[in-house]
Chain A
Amino acid sequence: MSTRLANAGRLVNKNKAVSFTFNGKNLRGFEGDTLASALLANDQMMVGRSFKYHRPRGVVASGAEEPNGLVNLGKDNTFEPNQRITTTELFDGLTATSQNHWPSLEFDVGVINTYFSRFMPAGFYYKMFIHPRPFWKHIYEPMIRQAAGLGKAPKDRDTDTYEHFNASFDVMVVGGGIAGLAAAHSAGQSGARVMLVEQTADWGGRAVVDMPSIDGKTAQDWVADTVQALENMPNVTIRLRTQGSGVYDHGYVLAYERLTDHAPENDGPRHRLWRIRAKQIVTATGAIERPLSFAGNDIPGVVLAAAVRDYAINFGVSVGDRTVVVTNNDDAYRTAITLKKAGLDIPAIIDARTSAEGDLIDEAKALGIRVEFGKGIAKVKGGKRVTGVAICNQAGEGAVIEEISCDCVAMSGGWSPVVHLWSHCGGKLIWDADQAMFRPDPEKPPLGADGAGFVVTAGVANGHLFTAEVIADGFAAGRSAAKAAGFKAKAAQAPMGEDAHEGPLAPVWLMPQGASHALRSKAWLDFQNDVKVSDVQLAAQEGYESVEHAKRYTTIGMATDQGKLSNINGLATLAKSLNAEIPNVGTTTFRPPYTPISMSVIAGVAKNELFQPIRKTPMSDWHTANGADYEPVGQWRRPYAYVRSGETVHDAVNREVVNTREKLGLLDASTLGKLVVKGPDAGKFLDMMYTNMMSNLAVGKCRYGLMCSENGFLSDDGVVARIDEDTWLCHTTTGGAERIHAWMEDWLQCEWWDWKVYVANVTEQWAQVAVVGPNARKVLEKLGGMDVSKETLPFMQWADGTLGGFDARVYRISFSGELSYEIAVPASQGRAFWDALLAAGEEFGAMPYGTEALHIMRAEKGFIMIGDETDGTVIPQDLNLQWAISKKKEDFLGKRAQERSHMADPNRWKLVGLETVDGSVIPDGAYAIAEGTNANGQRNTQGRVTSTYYSPTLKRGIAMGLVLHGPDRMGEVIEFNKVDGTTVQAKIVDQVFYDKDGEKQNV
Chain B
Amino acid sequence: MSNAVSTLNGKVASGEVTIREGGLRGMITFRGDLSNAKLKSVCKTLTGFGVPEMGKATSNGDKGVAWMSPDELLILVPHAQTNDAIAAIEKAMKGQHHLAKNVSDARTHLTVQGSFAREVIAKLAPADLHPDHFQIGDFRRTRLGQVAAAFWMTDAETFEVICFRSVGEYAFDLLAASAKAGPVGRF
Contacts and interface: CB of A to CB of B under 8 A. Distances in A.
A adjacent to B, CB under 8 Å: yes
A603 to B, nearest CB: 12
Contact of A762 (B3, B103, B186): B103
Contact of A831 (B5, B119, B126): B5
Interface stretch (B14-22, B36-44, B166-174): B166-174
A605 B119 CA distance: 14
Contacts of B170: 610, 613-614
Given A167-B128, A168-B130, A828-B3, 10 more contacts: A269-B181, A613-B171, A678-B99, A679-B99, A760-B101, A762-B101, A764-B165, A765-B101, A827-B106, A832-B4
A680 interface: yes
Nearest to B101: A760
B97 A164 contact: no
Given A828-B6, A829-B1, A758 B98 contact: yes
Contacts of A424: none
A732 B164 CA distance: 18
A760 B3 CA distance: 25
A164 B104 CA distance: 31
B91 interface: no
A764 B29 contact: no
Given A615-B167, A760-B31, A272 B5 contact: no
Given A267-B182, A758-B31, A832-B5, A765 B106 contact: yes
A829 B4 contact: yes
B27 to A, nearest CB: 10
A807 interface: yes
A268 interface: yes
A322 interface: no
A612 interface: yes
Contacts of A805: 3
Interface string A607-631: 0011011111110000000000000
B59 interface: no
Contact of B4 (A617, A763, A828): A828
Interface of B: 1, 3-6, 24, 29, 31-32, 71, 79, 97-99, 101-107, 119, 122-130, 132-133, 145-147, 164-171, 173-174, 177-178, 181-182, 184-186
Given A613-B146, A760-B29, A833-B3, A636 B166 contact: yes
A805 B4 CA distance: 12
7 contacts: A168-B133, A613-B171, A676-B99, A679-B99, A760-B29, A760-B103, A828-B1
A384 to B, nearest CB: 45
Q: What does DSSP make chain A's interface, helix, strand, loop or mixed?
A: mixed
Find the residue from A268, A613, A763 having the highest chain B CB count within 10 A. A613
B166 A617 contact: yes
A764 B164 contact: yes
A723 B126 CA distance: 39
A272 B183 CA distance: 12
A676 B101 contact: yes
Find the residue from A606, A678, A760 having the highest chain B CB count within 10 A. A760
Q: Which 7 A-B pairs have the closest CB atoms?
A: A832-B3, A827-B105, A615-B166, A758-B99, A764-B106, A168-B128, A828-B4
A828 B31 contact: no
Contacts of B132: 193
A676 B100 CA distance: 10
Contact of A764 (B79, B105, B186): B105
A268 B182 contact: yes
B145 A165 contact: no
B97 A680 contact: yes
Contacts of A616: 166, 168-169
A606 B167 contact: no
B24 A828 contact: yes
Contacts of B98: 758
Contact of A606 (B119, B125, B145, B184): B145
A655 interface: no
